[in-house]
Structure 1
């Protein structure tokens, strides 16, 4: 059982790489670039492009009380570029019909 699952894992990983390659070539990017951009997209979607979270308003009083300086909320670096590239990638994926359908919520 364990052997087959490891083999299946290898096959699946190979397929994932193939898909990434295919999408990347369609978009005229290298697979590495495509992977980086899709990672940026998922981070941007999650609302944090590798940036430290800024304190919520309720927490600010706590930090001030502790004598901590608050850093001004800065727009995450690279978010603009990521979203821009990903709008393009999204458009191209739609054109070439490579968009994965969202799983229906049960």
Structure 2
């Protein structure tokens, strides 16, 4: 048996941020067949068997036809994102919306 994985390490293995994995790991076990932790509080931190996690990733990637990562756009660090061109504002469909946008721009430019 290889060294046990911590919460953050398991999150990185499945391609999620630690906070996101903390919210969804129970659903992963129930719905996706993810291996349960072998060490649980009280008295210890959650620990997962690295071999079981690796085997789950292999099974999952074969089933999905992917590399096994389940990355969400919000989980990508801002430094890892590609630079993008500023978007062109879409013209307002009516006068009221144009006025609201102008008010919002004015508030944002003042730093309110």
TM-score normalised by L of structure 1: 0.27
TM-score normalised by L of structure 2: 0.26
